Amino acid sequence: MKTWHACLLGLSLLSPLPALAASDIQQKTVVFDKGATSTSIKDQLKGDQTIDYQLRAHAGQQVRVDFAPSNSSAYFNLLPPGTEEALFVGSTLGNHYSGVLPTDGVYTIRVYLMRNAARRNETTRYTIKVGIAPGTHTPASAQHSTPATFDKTLSLQGVNFHVMATKEGSLNQLTITPSGLSGSNAPIKREIDGSVSGAEVADLNADGSPEVYVYVNSAGSGSYGSLVGYAANRKKSLSEIHLPDLSADKKLSQGYQGHDAFAVGEGRLLRRFPVYRDGDINAKPTGGMRQIQYRLVPGEAGWQLKMDKVVTY
């Protein structure tokens, strides 16, 4: 179980709403000592202050940001050069980012307090550790010569799922290869719109046969989430798992603009995303968070994830 899963399950229903409309944005430069590939920054902010740490980097470099605040209502976003549309939204995805940067330029690590904490004029002290892996800068002419891949093998109850996906452009190829089934173990190949952000194995319906859940986020600033899932029927063959279309429910989809995060926990599939109000920009949702909890039930064709509980906080 990934670290953020535990954080997701332990969130209070009274968590404060975001307060990202900062009136005072300070700008500071991230500086590395000569020969160093990482640095640690200690700082603090109060109320509706926002601090932007500017980091110059190159396309293809692997960057890691670790954020440790004293106030649990403090987060950071990562903004690419020349836009307010975030690559990473901390209030959705947590306090750790690691990824390959898409372009040359100055990236912004934006630190802020959520709205309720800012209104109470709370203070946070924090440490930001920023690292750039040495030797990861890829010349522009070679950046697309070899596509990045997601490659993970998951195992449960004697059944294995080898999940592989390309990552080149907006459309990619997903392959799920099972093993350990008494029937067909033929690979399943799907074209996906976006890239795989994670995969998990579970037995949500507690029938003694596992399921595989593959989480996909679309390309672009919205990073809209979708799911590819399959359940092992008595460990013999696989049937598809269907996730209801969020847009079909006006109440659930109100204020939805992507940035989904999925996780398995306590016998349920959890989907969490920020809620946007009219006028909010991509990097500054101000409507809180919504978490949808699904349980796995038999469907007309395969299996269905049925909404079980909704929390907005």
Q: Which CATH number goes with the domain that contains 42? A: 2.60.120.380
SS3 8: helix
How far apart are the C-alpha atoms of 43 and 74, rounded to whole Å? 12
In a domain, 298, yes or no: yes
Structural domain ending residue among the three candidates 74, 106, 137: 137
In this predicted structure, what is the pLDDT of residue 94? 82
In a domain, 97, yes or no: yes
Q: Say yes or no: 125 and 172 in one domain.
A: no
Structural domain ending residue among the three candidates 113, 137, 161: 137
Q: Say yes or no: 52 and 97 in one domain.
A: yes
How far apart are the C-alpha atoms of 95 and 68, rounded to whole Å? 7
Structural domain ending residue among the three candidates 85, 116, 137: 137
In this predicted structure, what is the pLDDT of residue 12? 33
Averaged over successive runs of 10 residues, the pLDDT of the chain (313 residues) comes to 40 36 75 89 94 90 91 92 84 82 89 91 96 56 52 92 88 92 90 92 95 91 89 93 92 91 91 92 86 92 91 87
Q: Say yes or no: 306 and 158 in one domain.
A: yes
Residues contacting 141, CB < 8 A, separation 6+: none
Q: Say yes or no: 73 and 185 in one domain.
A: no
How far apart, in Å, are the Cα atoms of 34 and each of 31, 55, 72, 109, 260?
9, 15, 33, 21, 39
Q: Say yes or no: 301 and 161 in one domain.
A: yes
Q: Say yes or no: 187 and 266 in one domain.
A: yes
- For the chain, how many structural domains are there in total? 2
How far apart, in Å, are the Cα atoms of 239 and each of 98, 230, 249?
33, 5, 25
How far apart are the C-alpha atoms of 185 and 50, rounded to whole Å? 52
How far apart are the C-alpha atoms of 90 and 283, rounded to whole Å? 10
Other C-beta atoms within 10 Å of 156: how many? Answer: 17
In a domain, 4, yes or no: no
Asked if 9 and 291 touch (Cβ cutoff 8 Å), the reply is: no
**Which candidate, 60, 56, 81, places its Cα nearest to that of 143?**
60
How far apart are the C-alpha atoms of 67 and 129, rounded to whole Å? 7
Residues contacting 72, CB < 8 A, separation 6+: none
- The parent domain of residue 157 ranges over 148-312
Q: Say yes or no: 64 and 196 in one domain.
A: no
How far apart are the C-alpha atoms of 61 and 173, rounded to whole Å? 24
Q: Say yes or no: 60 and 101 in one domain.
A: yes
As given in the structure block, the two tokens for residue 146 are 């070899």
In a domain, 63, yes or no: yes
With helix as H, strand as E and coil as C, how does 71-140 read? CCCEEEEEECCCCCCCCEEHHHHCCEEEEECCCCEEEEEEEEECHHHHHCCCEEEEEEEEEECCCCCCCH
Write down the H helix ranges in the chain: 3-9, 90-93, 115-119, 250-253
How far apart, in Å, are the Cα atoms of 64 and each of 40, 67, 88, 132, 170?
12, 10, 12, 7, 23
Q: Say yes or no: 200 and 296 in one domain.
A: yes
Q: Say yes or no: 87 and 116 in one domain.
A: yes
In this predicted structure, what is the pLDDT of residue 103? 82
As given in the structure block, the two tokens for residue 121 are 């004029």
Rounded to two decimals, what is the model's pTM? 0.58
In this predicted structure, what is the pLDDT of residue 238? 92
Give the residue carrying structure tokens 């799911």.
227
What residue type is assigned to position 89 of the chain? V
Q: Say yes or no: 241 and 293 in one domain.
A: yes
Strands 237-242 and 303-312 come out as parallel
